[in-house]
Amino acid sequence: HVRAVMDAAGSERAALFGLSEGGPMSILFAATYPDRVTRLVLSGTMARFLRDDDYPHGATRDLMRGMVGEIEERWGEGAVLALFAPSLAKDPRAIQWWGKFQRRAASPGMARALIEMLAEIDVRAVLPAIHMPTLIIHRRDERAVPIGAARYLVEQISGARIVEQPGDDHFPWLGEADAFVDEVEMFLTGTRQSREVDRVLATVLFTDIVGSTEHASRLGE
């Protein structure tokens, strides 16, 4: 599908940004079509979703069962928001928005099928085939994808660089979003644009004509 979209857009080569479950797909595409990928950015993602004997960085089956149970009970009402965005977990407006997004995105059954599909993901075998410049950027304390998953990726992908950022939100547009964008921009372009500041330095000048205060008090405001 990625290749079809690139062909339709007339894009010979492109940088790929793989977020969350989009990461394994980006990894697989980069390994299969290295001539079509210039750079690879991986954020909040993993090579394998489930924990295994030789892979201690994935989700436990208890966490999986908990996610499935919450989806079945509260999908459309803000389910699993605390896992992906702890900073918004107690915000009524955020919960309402997340629930609305869920209702418009998928049915509870489809959401459960997606989680079960994620449990089958494992692209560890193709990681050594990634040779283009790769940036791995990850929130250090996030719960959805443990930081160990990112550290595993940087160990397996030749020449990859990792940036560990503070925070526990899975979504990069939360928390220190500007710092996140700066890292990606620097990696892709080699420069970091200065940001426009929405504040100005102003001087307030107060003047009082001689005798005006007394005159005003005699006449009344």
Q: What is the pLDDT of residue 191?
A: 87
Nearest to 78 by CA among 93, 66, 65: 93
pTM of the model: 0.83
pLDDT tens for residues 32-47? 999 999 999 999 999 9
pLDDT tens for residues 151-201? 999 999 999 999 999 999 999 999 999 999 999 999 999 988 766 656 666
- Whether the Cβ atoms of residue 75 and residue 101 lie closer than 8 Å to each other: no
pLDDT at 206 over 90: no
Q: What is the pLDDT of residue 124?
A: 97
- Bin 76: left if φ > 0, else alpha if -120 < ψ < 50, else beta: left
Q: What is the pLDDT of residue 95?
A: 96
C-alpha angle 127-67-55 in degrees, rounded to nearest 5: 30
Nearest to 70 by CA among 57, 86, 82, 88: 82
3-state secondary structure (DSSP) of residue 122: strand
pLDDT at 211 over 80: no
Q: What is the pLDDT of residue 61?
A: 87
Nearest to 13 by CA among 21, 2, 24: 2
The set of residues, in sequence order, having a beta carbon less than 8 Å from that of 121 and lying 6+ positions away, is 21, 24, 46, 48, 49
Task: Provide the angle, in degrees to the nearest 10, between the axes of the packed helices 61-74 and 108-118.
Answer: 170
pLDDT tens for residues 88-141? 999 999 999 999 999 999 999 999 999 889 889 999 999 999 999 999 999 999
